[in-house]
Amino acid sequence: MYSDELRERATRLAIEARKDPAGRAGAIKRIADQLEVHPEALRGWVKRAETDEGIVPGTTGTDTARIAGLEREVRELRRANAILKSASAFFAAELCATRSDVDREMVKDHFRPPARGLRGGPLHGRAPHACGRSARG
């Protein structure tokens, strides 16, 4: 690993050398050899610095970090969504099983189910349960 000071100095020198058309060719290799830094490491630092400064088009370091954070958040939200979907399916199945048991007991006891809406259908404005019955039996 290289120190932050060495990285900043090497990057600054390489960017300045690349601005001069006469010294542009081989500038990174020359500066890397002078400072005893691997040329590919310096090339990466220069590329990142030029992108961050807007000299070269590309995704800046802050944008890259923000994108990574947003992708992580999306993964977490998708995982939470999957858990909630599983839980809602589980509870819907439990509700249907419970309602089926209640319906069997009502038939066994010859108990007449409560009246539905005035028109004989399910009460208006109520969403049906997952088991296909209305919210009010």
What whole-number distance in Å separates Cα of residue 79 and Cα of residue 59? 28
The pLDDT value given to residue 4 = 93
The pLDDT value given to residue 100 = 67
| Helix 4-19 with 39-52: angle, nearest 10 deg | 70
Structure-token pair, residue 87: 């839980």
DSSP 118: T
What whole-number distance in Å separates Cα of residue 38 and Cα of residue 6? 12
What whole-number distance in Å separates Cα of residue 136 and Cα of residue 99? 11
pTM above 0.95, yes or no: no
The pLDDT value given to residue 137 = 46
pLDDT in tens, the chain (137 residues): 899 999 999 999 999 998 888 878 889 999 999 999 999 999 999 999 999 988 888 889 899 999 999 999 999 999 999 999 999 998 888 888 777 665 555 555 554 555 555 554 444 444 455 555 554 54
